[in-house]
Structure 1
Amino acid sequence: MKLVFAGTPEVAVPSLRRIADSGHELAAVVTRPDAPSGRGRRLHRSPVGQWADDHGVEVLTPAKPREPEFAERLRAIAPDCVPVVAYGALVPQSVLDIPAKGWVNLHFSLLPAWRGAAPVQHAVLNGDELTGACVFQLEAGLDTGPLFGSVTEPIAARDTSGDLLERLSESGGDLLVRVLNAIDSGQARAQPQPSDGISLAPKVSVDDARVRWDDPAFAVDRRVRAVTPAPTAWTTWDGQRVRLGPVIPDPDGPRLAPGAVAIGKNAVHVGTATESVRLSDIQAPGKKRMPADAWGRGLHADAEIAFE
């Protein structure tokens, strides 16, 4: 089949690579427009767009998929199908109808669980023990289309969202190519999603990443892992924002009030509503990220510190 791939972040690149290595023709990619990043706020290509540039593949960057110029170019390319992985924009029905075999989306959950922009983050935050990836026919609704297939993935006790997405991007890329092969051969059969078990996974904001020290330790742990590596867990100390890496609930640690910090010889603990948690690394304002024990050794031993 002639394909146009739609995707934006790094997590979409494994699928793009697999499609390029398959027997299908990769005619172009669609990605979000170049965006400012870094200290200089210079415009940077998305990871998908950069991969396409490096491999001589045409890149389409409509500000919105409803733009007439984008629809005209897609009709001119005349793809048979558009596979999608984390593209990041809603596609109108008029554009969904352009390829003869539609748009098929790789989503990182077991639908209908966790429909939305941040399925992996919400699975970790919720304490799910199992997740996965599925491929479905894209339609105007939010992740509501019929399912072609899925793969499952256990969530380990110390998994961050980044860990989980890395594994799912690989297994999901394999699944996506298998589904495309089945569509090409006429053997694919999409089944409606179950009507029960629906849950929503809206985008995780910076405010959502703020640690609530008056939560139980297990909830603090889940929240921090859910927002690692992005948007990154944070708290405040002396009115300034401090970024935190994953924490470890420690039932043998010191008993502390929520947010109170205890600096030991080889560990830094923070109090929660239950047992304390041990910090792994920390980034204080204006400093580089460092191991928490190294940060603690740089403070006065008798300093009274509390996170808010």
Structure 2
Amino acid sequence: MNIVFMGTPDFAVPSLDMLIAEGYNVVGVVTQPDKPQGRKKVLTPTPVKAAAERHGLPVFQPVKLRNPEAVARLAEWKPDLIVTAAFGQILPKAVLDMPVRGCVNVHGSLLPKYRGGAPIQRSIINGEPVTGVTLMYMAEGLDTGDMISRVEVPITDEDTSGSMFIKLSEAGSKLLQEEMPRLIAGETTAVPQDDAEASYARNLTRDDEKLDWSRSSRELFNQIRGLVPFSGAFTMWDDQVFKVWAATNPNHPDAQGTSQTGQTEPGTVLQLGANGIEVSTGSGSLWLTEVQPAGKKVMKAADFGRGGTLKPGTVLR
């Protein structure tokens, strides 16, 4: 049986590696085009492309999969089953109808919650205690297809989007591994999603990265974790971007400081010390532990505080 795999980021690599290790006949891999990265804008292959080349698999990188030429190219592989994981493009009906065993997707949430492109980040930002992976048949809607199986994965206060991407990619690979024999045989049982329970995880924008100090310390803590290690959160200090890469759990005993609420303007630097930089919020205070001033590298907030350029009473905007 011919299998075509579609994916782009690191999240998808364990699923591709599993298919190869289990001896399935992966005839080709579809991934996003190479993109320039870094200050020197070096053209860099996607993690899935790198994995495919490591396995000696042919790779196809269409700018738009819905173009008739791209559909025709994909059809040359004669797929019986298409497996996707964070591919990054919506599959057109011509592709969905192509394989006799259908198109299945490894999605990083417990559907129907968090349909869309940023389910892992949004789950953390919204303070969810648990998320998971859903294996689903693909339909023309955005993550609306029937669900084959799901697995739950807890989110701890120590988790960031980076750590959850790893946990969920591994959980997704195992889920796919368990279902592959039934997918090949056409013996899966799938159930429709309840659209009334659906929510959407839209892609993150610059606005999602801005810290609003009028929010609670817990909400800000979750926001910071949800943006690591990708964009990071930021605030404005002295009219320049001041990035925040880590903060201490506000419920942890080590995080307790002056904890002023309603006594100082949210965003006010309360103190600088061994724990980092304590900032007032709309409810409680938050210790920043890793920061990045404009034009500088990421550093420990305690080290930055000892420099003396940021002083108590400064208001971050």
Report TM bin, short chain: over 0.9
Match of 1:167 in 2: 167
Match of 2:228 in 1: 228
After TM superposition, give the deviation of residue 48 of structure 1 in Å: 0.5
Match of 2:279 in 1: 270
CA RMSD of aligned residues (A): 1.6
Which TM-score applies when normalising by structure 2?
A: 0.93
Letter in 1 for 2:37: S
C-alpha offsets along residues 31-89 of structure 1, whole Å, 9 cap, x if unaligned? 01111111011221111111112221111001101122221222111111110000001
After TM superposition, give the deviation of residue 18 of structure 1 in Å: 0.8
SS of 1:245's equivalent? strand
Q: How many residues align?
A: 308
Map of 1:124-135 to 2, 5 A cutoff?
124-135=124-135
Letter in 2 for 1:149: S
After TM superposition, give the deviation of residue 212 of structure 1 in Å: 0.7
Letter in 2 for 1:144: T
Do 1:9 and 1:47's aligned partners in 2 also have CA atoms closer than 8 Å? yes
Quick one: distance in 1 between partners of 2:303 and 2:297?
A: 12
Matching of residue 252 in structure 1 with residue 251 in structure 2: no
Do 2:101 and 2:184's aligned partners in 1 also have CA atoms closer than 8 Å? no
SS of 1:36's equivalent? strand
2:288 to 279, 296, 299: 279
Structure 2 vs 1, CA of residues 303 and 220 (structure 1 numbering), >3 Å: closer, same or farther? closer
Quick one: distance in 2 between partners of 1:127 and 1:34?
A: 34
After TM superposition, give the deviation of residue 165 of structure 1 in Å: 1.5
Quick one: distance in 2 between partners of 1:236 and 1:50?
A: 38
1:261 to 264, 269, 280: 269
After TM superposition, give the deviation of residue 133 of structure 1 in Å: 0.3
SS of 2:49's equivalent? helix
Match of 1:20 in 2: 20
Q: Which moved more, 1:250-259 or 1:221-230?
A: 250-259
Match of 2:157 in 1: 157
Quick one: distance in 1 between partners of 2:142 and 2:165?
A: 20
Where does the alignment leave 5 or more consecutive residues of structure 1 unmatched? Answer: none
Letter in 2 for 1:276: S
Do 1:74 and 1:98's aligned partners in 2 also have CA atoms closer than 8 Å? no
Letter in 1 for 2:170: E
Match of 1:187 in 2: 187
After TM superposition, give the deviation of residue 172 of structure 1 in Å: 0.8
Quick one: distance in 2 between partners of 1:186 and 1:92?
A: 22
Match of 1:50 in 2: 50
Q: Which moved more, 1:250-259 or 1:71-80?
A: 250-259
Quick one: distance in 2 between partners of 1:187 and 1:303?
A: 65
Letter in 2 for 1:275: G
Q: Which moved more, 1:169-178 or 1:263-272?
A: 263-272
Q: Which moved more, 1:178-187 or 1:114-123?
A: 178-187
Where does the alignment leave 5 or more consecutive residues of structure 2 unmatched? Answer: none
Match of 1:78 in 2: 78
Structure 2 vs 1, CA of residues 95 and 263 (structure 1 numbering), >3 Å: closer, same or farther? same
Matching of residue 307 in structure 1 with residue 316 in structure 2: yes
| Aligned residues with identical type, % of pairs | 36
Do 1:205 and 1:231's aligned partners in 2 also have CA atoms closer than 8 Å? no
After TM superposition, give the deviation of residue 181 of structure 1 in Å: 1.9
Match of 2:237 in 1: 237
C-alpha offsets along residues 122-158 of structure 1, whole Å, 9 cap, x if unaligned? 1112211121101111111010000110111111123
Do 1:251 and 1:275's aligned partners in 2 also have CA atoms closer than 8 Å? no
Map of 1:30-179 to 2, 5 A cutoff?
30-179=30-179
Quick one: distance in 2 between partners of 1:253 and 1:57?
A: 58
Q: Which moved more, 1:35-44 or 1:290-299?
A: 35-44
SS of 2:76's equivalent? helix
C-alpha offsets along residues 139-191 of structure 1, whole Å, 9 cap, x if unaligned? 11010000110111111123212221210100111111222221113321111
After TM superposition, give the deviation of residue 94 of structure 1 in Å: 0.9
Which TM-score applies when normalising by structure 1?
A: 0.95
Letter in 2 for 1:124: I
Do 1:80 and 1:99's aligned partners in 2 also have CA atoms closer than 8 Å? yes
SS of 2:105's equivalent? strand
Quick one: distance in 1 between partners of 2:115 and 2:259?
A: 40
C-alpha offsets along residues 244-294 of structure 1, whole Å, 9 cap, x if unaligned? 112222343353531111343313111101111011101111111011000
